[in-house]
Amino acid sequence: MSAVRMDGKALSAKVRGSILAETKALKEKGVTPGLAVIIVGNDPASEIYVRNKEKACAECGFYSEKYALPAETSQEELLGLIAQLNQSPQISGILCQMPVPEHISEQAVIDAIDPKKDVDAFHPVNVGKIMVGNFDFVPCTPAGVMELLDEYGIDPKGKECVVVGRSNIVGKPMSMLLLHRHGTVTICHSRTSGLAAVCRRADILVAAVGKAGFITPDMVKDGAVVIDVGINRNAEGKVCGDVAPEVMEKASYMTPVPGGAGPMTITMLMKNTLKAAKLQHSL
């Protein structure tokens, strides 16, 4: 048996097509979704992400602004820019690319963004809404995973779901989304005892630990759905996930890396930005 590869590239293209169609309809009503992306310093990985976000905005028909600030920018200057963007009628969503330089507090940046324009869904208000299930925006990677599950007809209802990783960006919101869809959810992390045995219970296993090849075949139940959201580099410098490639032989469905959950992340950012524009104009 070899798993069905869950094609994030194909689904991403399909979702972006529907976003573009909605954007055209909005423009006829005089509304253009707008995204402002801020990058502080010159982290190479962040620069690639920002370029990809600009490209996605163009594909979806959005207006976009990019602010590339020098590494020595003060926290006060950065928060001042965010305050201006919070007031800008052209901007539906604001994203500050993390990490920021050490002299700037990430939490202060997150807190400064208007929750209505927080398209990353990191603001405490939006985090709280995800917790109670009454949310407008969902962090982009978990949102993309849910779209993939839906596309392949995989319903978490009544299933054992195990999430390995407890970050605020992926692990925690992923767990809540599966729970809201009636999955029975276990959150694991580096201090979980008997981790392999817990993973083997999973009907749906989500790996979000940031360690290349961390999930090995002995940790996976035959026929499990395996979602790999890790993006790492192996010893040869090739991009790889948190799940060993051999797991393909045990799983029923699995996301490849690259080309699985990754392409969906930026597409969900576009979906959040579109939603923000509609909410701000009561459409």
Q: Which residue of the set 53, 117, 159, 172 is catalytic? A: 53
Which one-letter DSSP state was computed for residue 237?
Answer: S
Strands 253-254 and 239-240: unpaired
DSSP string, 145-182: HHHHHHHTT---TT-EEEEE---TTTHHHHHHHHHHTT
217 and 248 Cβ atoms separated by less than 8 Å: no
Active-site annotation holds for 84: no
For residue 181, say whether it is annotated as part of any ligand binding site.
no
Q: Which residue of the set 97, 118, 221, 275 is catalytic? A: 97
Half-sphere exposure of 275 (CA within 13 A, CB side): 17
For residue 74, say whether it is annotated as part of any ligand binding site.
no
Active-site annotation holds for 120: yes
Q: How far apart are CA 126 and CA 136, in angstroms?
A: 8
For residue 17, say whether it is annotated as part of any ligand binding site.
no
* 22 backbone dihedrals φ, ψ, rounded to 5°: -65, -40
Which one-letter DSSP state was computed for residue 215?
Answer: B
For residue 166, say whether it is annotated as part of any ligand binding site.
yes
How many CB atoms neighbour CB 147 within 10 A? Answer: 20
Q: How far apart are CA 138 and CA 269, in angstroms?
A: 9
Q: How far, in whole angstroms, is CA 195 from its chain's centroid?
A: 24
Q: Which residue of the set 120, 136, 228, 242 is catalytic? A: 120
Q: How far, in whole angstroms, is CA 132 from its chain's centroid?
A: 19
List binding-site positions for NADP(+).
165-167, 231
**Catalytic amino acids?**
53, 97, 120
